Amino acid sequence: MPTEVKGGAGRGAFITFEGGEGGGKSTQVQRLVAALRARGVETVATREPGGSPNAEALRDVLLAGLVAPLGPAAEALIFSAARIDHIDNLIRPALQRGAFVVCDRFADSTRAYQGALGKLSETFIDGLEKVTIGDVRPDLTFVLDLPAEEGMARAGARRGRAAADRFEAEAIEFHRALRDSFRAIAAAHPERCVLVDATQGIDEVAADIWAAVCRRFPAVAVASLPT
């Protein structure tokens, strides 16, 4: 019988991973999901843009750069349209049945990429976030932080000979500003965000993340591993 672990009142827990390119988010999502499942916690792993069939279709359009010519406001709207579908069809139902949802990128990415770098007003981003996510706010957000040069080198090595996508193709100044923007988001929301030093090795980063999950959800810490 798995230990019942719930994040907040009457619902599961929502954990997001954020940061620039090459910070190892996907690896850390996998590690955390495996650790939670090993303790009998029902856990849904997902990502943005995407996570539901309609949102995955919009992902292709966005990452191919087809919306870029319309400007950052239009891009923010299409990322948000994908997010609404993802929330309605996957995230909210999972939280309602008490599951943990671990998501690779969420609304902070729109705030950093389209908002800060696209020079959209805070009023625009705040309003968009409010109508898009409503009360589906993350309980805990990991911001994986590393210098832009290191992140881009890692992303390039991972990509090999494949073409860079819409955002990977941006100049290094863009990625430096992106890092500043994610750090500012983490500083503005200390109750929700944990800034993680992503220059460390994979195991050290995973250990920092696990410690923070156990602090935020003490029931997870005492859930026993199968014998």
Per CB under 6 A, residues contacting ligand TYD are 21, 25-26, 48-49, 63, 79, 104-105, 109-110, 113-114, 167
CB of 100 to ligand TYD, least distance (A): 20
CB of 215 to ligand TYD, least distance (A): 25
Residue closer to ligand TYD (CB basis): 41 or 146:
146
Q: Nearest 5°: CA angle at 180, between 176 and 183?
A: 140
Q: What is the 3-state secondary structure (H, E, C) of 119-144?
A: CCCHHHHHHHHHHHHCCCCCCEEEEE
CB of 227 to ligand TYD, least distance (A): 36
Residue closer to ligand TYD (CB basis): 39 or 179:
179
Distances in Å between the Cα of 48 and the Cα atoms of 83, 174, 215 are 7, 20, 26
Residue closer to ligand TYD (CB basis): 25 or 31:
25
Q: For residues 30 and 18, what is the distance between their CA atoms, to the nearest angstrom?
A: 14
Residue closer to ligand TYD (CB basis): 41 or 186:
186
Residue closer to ligand TYD (CB basis): 12 or 49:
49
Q: For residues 86 and 79, what is the distance between their CA atoms, to the nearest angstrom?
A: 10
Structural element, H or E, at residue 114: none
CB of 164 to ligand TYD, least distance (A): 10
Kindly report the backbone phi and psi dihedral angles of residue 68, in degrees, each rounded to the nearest multiple of 5, phi listed first: -50, -40
CB of 118 to ligand TYD, least distance (A): 9
51 DSSP assignment: S
Structural element, H or E, at residue 166: none
